[in-house]
Amino acid sequence: MRQVDPWRFTGGFLSKILSARIPDEPSHPEIPWTEVGKPVAESKVALLSTAGLSMRDDAPFDMEMEREKPTQGDPSWRRLRADATSATIEANHLHIDTGYIERDLNVALPVDRLRELAAEGAIGAVADSHYSIMGYQGNDSSTLENQSAPEIAAAMRSEEVDLALLAPV
Amino acid sequence: MIWPFQRMIGMPRVAAIEHPFGRPYGDVGDITTQREVLLAALAVFGKAREPGYLEHLPFEWHEDPDQTKWHPAEPSPIIALITKRK
């Protein structure tokens, strides 16, 4: 099977910048691993997006900070209700065209498709919450890694999530 | 998706896909692709047997790169800064 071309849509400028920063081998000495405990058809599934999604009645991701300090990104996270729609969600991400998400949330957070799979029995259940971070972290991802990620994991555990699907945008 | 980045940071299971930024599951209103991508990603949980598992999904985007718009209306602050420094 052919390999996915990671640079197909980046353009030459961005691929030159990014490819120079990505070594061939993983930099983490040990990759985390948790065995899958049950079949997908019996699992409660949560979605996680890096699109900077927040409920409209929640605080949005801080884009002004990034505009003032371009090497920094908002490291916080947001909980999204499972019944979220494009109308109830706001997308704040300065590195992509968020207009597609505003028209159809499923392009980045397929909440409708997940509900359909649950109704068909292809998954066990939809989690009560989904989650979002803002993917651009600039030069320092330590807060995201050491604070936000453990908090998201704890929230998922409290809702008895079995599988989490992270989709970078 | 820039899957070498996911590999670099040590994601336990990766389903690589050749979709443009901002629309990893498929285009606006493309219910069929959104569903198939979601199912293919979920299937990875049943296939991966060891950390660092990477599967290349077979989906092809329906537009050529030069016809695919994903950039924001204004360059991101870091891109604007890099461009200014050049």
What integer pLDDT is reported at residue B85 of this predicted model? 83
Q: Which of B19, B70, B78 sits opposite A70 (nearest CB)?
A: B78
Q: What is the mean pLDDT of residues B5-21?
A: 94
SS3 breakdown of chain B: % helix, strand, coil, rounded to 5? Answer: 40, 15, 40
Report which secondary-structure segment, H or E, holds A55.
strand A53-55
Tens of pLDDT, residue by residue over A9-58, are 998 888 888 888 888 776 666 999 999 999 999 999 999 999 999 999 99
Q: Contact A73/A96 with Cβ under 8 angstroms?
A: no
The answer for B 14-53 residues in CB contact with A (under 8 A) is 16-29, 31, 34-35, 37-39, 41-43, 45-46, 50-52
Q: Contact A134/A61 with Cβ under 8 angstroms?
A: yes
Q: Which of A5, A9, A43 sits opposite B21 (nearest CB)?
A: A9
What integer pLDDT is reported at residue A12 of this predicted model? 84
What integer pLDDT is reported at residue A16 of this predicted model? 87
What integer pLDDT is reported at residue B83 of this predicted model? 86
Chain B residue closest to A104 (CA)? B28
Return d(Cα B37, Cα B50) in angstroms, integer. 22
* More reliable by pLDDT, A150 or B82: A150
A129: left (phi > 0), else alpha (psi -120 to 50), else beta?
A: beta
Q: Indicate the DSSP class of residue B50.
A: S
pTM score of the predicted model: 0.95
ipTM of model:
0.95
Residues from chain A that touch B16, judged by Cβ atoms under 8 A, are 3-4, 6
pLDDT reading at B86 higher than 80:
no
pLDDT reading at A169 higher than 90:
yes
Q: Which of A18, A104, A136 sits opposite B2 (nearest CB)?
A: A18
What integer pLDDT is reported at residue A147 of this predicted model? 98
How much of chain B exceeds pLDDT 90, in percent? 84
Tens of pLDDT, residue by residue over B65-74, are 999 999 999 9
Q: Contact A92/A61 with Cβ under 8 angstroms?
A: yes
What integer pLDDT is reported at residue A26 of this predicted model? 67
Q: How many whole angstroms from its chain centre is CA A49? A: 2
